[in-house]
Amino acid sequence: MMVSTKGRYALTVMVDLAKNAVDGYVSLADIAERENLSMKYLESIISMLNKGGMLESLRGKNGGYKLARDPSEYTINEILLLTEGTLAPVNCIMQEGVECEKAATCSTLPLWAGLDGVIENYLSGITLEDVMSGNRKKMLGEYCQKCDS
């Protein structure tokens, strides 16, 4: 699994909105400046998040974007699935199931399916609130004890 810049930037935008939209809407220009992101690229990411129902938008002078829900109600899995389409570690494993003519005889399929399950369980257990607040213990969890130094 390789998360693209689109997925990484979508998480960055969601964290920025969680931190900065406390009193209202945040402009795209403010996000771009704070996060050092291209406005053009940011527009496509915001559009995707907005169409996916993750954001609320308001036009006008004091307009911008804010989260549609509380940060604790968003999982990292749902944000990445919206932007990436799939988080499967190999092409033959898709979110809807196995799409491979060799599935019945493939000796490595259970390995890839298991890894897909670990990825989904891990990312579903971490919320935007966890990332926003820097909850390293939860983000590292049981998966990377050597990283928590």
Q: How far is CA 122 from CA 70, 80, 106, 129, in A?
A: 20, 12, 25, 15
Greater model confidence, 57 or 94: 57
Distance of CA 70 to the CA centre of its chain: 15
Count of domains forming the chain? 1
When pLDDT is averaged across residues 65-80 and rounded to a whole number, the result is 97
Greater model confidence, 1 or 126: 126
Which structural domain, as residue segments, surrounds residue 38? 1-149
Q: How far apart are CA 29 and CA 40, in angstroms?
A: 10
Question: Quick check: 3 and 89 in contact, CB under 8 A?
Answer: no
Question: Quick check: 48 and 84 in contact, CB under 8 A?
Answer: no
Q: How far apart are CA 54 and CA 29, in angstroms?
A: 19
Position 57 scores a pLDDT of: 94
Position 141 scores a pLDDT of: 74
When pLDDT is averaged across residues 24-53 and rounded to a whole number, the result is 95
When pLDDT is averaged across residues 86-109 and rounded to a whole number, the result is 79
Per mean pLDDT, which range of 44-58, 69-83, 128-142 is the poorest?
A: 128-142
When pLDDT is averaged across residues 37-54 and rounded to a whole number, the result is 95
CATH code for position 112: 1.10.10.10
CB-facing half-sphere around the CA of 43: CA atoms within 13 A: 4
- Asked if the model's pLDDT at residue 142 lies above 70, the reply is no
Question: Quick check: 47 and 10 in contact, CB under 8 A?
Answer: no
Position 135 scores a pLDDT of: 81
- Its pTM stands at 0.87
Position 147 scores a pLDDT of: 62
